[in-house]
Amino acid sequence: MSETTLGGIAGRMPKFIRRADPAVLTAFACIVLLLFLGSLYSRSFLSPEYLLQQLKVASFLGVIATGMMLVILLGQIDLSVPWSVAAGAMMACAAAAYGPVGVVLAIPFGIFCGVLIGIVNGIGVAYLRIPSMIITLATNAVAQGLMVVYTGGFSPQDSATGAMRYLATGFAIPGVPNAVIIWALIGAAMVFVLTRAGFGRTVYGIGNRERAAYLSGVDTRRVVMIAFAVSGGLSAFGGVLLAGYASKAAQSMGDAYLLPSIAAVVLGGTSILGGRGSYLGTVAGVILITLLQSILSVMQMPEAGRQIIYGVVIVAMLLLYGRAPASR
């Protein structure tokens, strides 16, 4: 099935195909397969309204996965996503309670809190040389503790501001949800940074071999720190959008985004060891994960079954093309 699909596209766009990563093509093939399976289950699956709705849901994950990708390209990982998302959302909602100034500053303040978490991660990874997996888990725990203390153990009563709701659910261009536009803008910026800007090249360089990048005169530690700050900020922005979508912030709202954001990046062909991967793959991964979630919920699969299928699909796809070379 995927062979014939690939052949068909290759016939039309040979140059695009020749440069494409097999992992990205596999991810897109899986998207087509999922759409096909979904359409067998329900006719409305291929309707434009439904697909647009999926794209809108995907854009929240897309924003978060963009930051995750930047960090994974460095060969690091950001496990502080759950509470960066929650902190961004909760702090933005909290700021809105402080009068008109608070309402205006709500979104920037939420993002700022995420950037702060990211900077702590970045200092730990880049300057203190603590493994990213460990320090991000620790900052995640600290962020959780801060939020629990702040809210007194309950979800905050503050609801999202009008601007947040507009960003997440409004339509600036008729027919295209704002969330999708935001994801497109952030994605375009990311593509520009990764492929055209010096910063992006150093990110790939550090991901391949940090020593080599350092010896080439790159201030690798600063680059790593900025990447973590951006990742934290984007996670928090994702949280702000989610709060706008649900019109309020909740404590555990970020839990559902850690595994999907890593999975989307890795399924999109970005090497977990760093230094290799394209944003197109991440887009494919995000859409793939969102469609998978959507089909499972349309089938009324309970949470337990969803988690199992999720884990199995991720392991299976990684076994297909995410394996490390054999030691010899």
Interacting residues toward other proteins by CB under 8 A: 77, 124, 128-131, 133-135, 137-146, 148-149, 152-153, 210-211, 214-215, 220, 252, 255, 258-259, 262-263, 266, 272-273, 302-312, 314-315, 318-319, 322-327
User: Quick one: 137 or 298, whose CB is closer to other proteins?
Assistant: 137
User: Quick one: 185 or 299, whose CB is closer to other proteins?
Assistant: 299
User: Quick one: 40 or 324, whose CB is closer to other proteins?
Assistant: 324
Residue 167: CB minimum distance to other proteins, A: 29
The contacts found for 35-42 with CB under 8 angstroms, 24 or more apart, are 35/291, 37/295, 38/291, 38/294, 38/295, 38/298, 41/295, 41/298, 41/299, 42/298
**Please, are residues 107 and 166 in contact by the beta-carbon 8 Å criterion?**
no
User: Quick one: 62 or 254, whose CB is closer to other proteins?
Assistant: 254
Residue 130: CB minimum distance to other proteins, A: 5
DSSP secondary structure, 65-95, as one string: HHHHHHHHHTT---TTHHHHHHHHHHHHHHH
Which are the contacts of 185, defined by CB distance < 8 A and separation ≥ 6? Answer: none
Q: Tell me, what amino acid is at 187?
A: G
**Please, are residues 119 and 100 in contact by the beta-carbon 8 Å criterion?**
no
Residue 34: CB minimum distance to other proteins, A: 18
User: Quick one: 35 or 130, whose CB is closer to other proteins?
Assistant: 130
Residue 313: CB minimum distance to other proteins, A: 9
For 142, the 3-state DSSP assignment is helix
User: Quick one: 72 or 89, whose CB is closer to other proteins?
Assistant: 72
Residue 241: CB minimum distance to other proteins, A: 23
User: Quick one: 9 or 138, whose CB is closer to other proteins?
Assistant: 138
Structure tokens given for 14: 């040979």
Residue 175: CB minimum distance to other proteins, A: 36
Residue 206: CB minimum distance to other proteins, A: 9
Nearest Cα neighbor of 120 from 144, 136, 141 is 136
> Within its chain, how far is the Cα of 179 from the centroid?
14
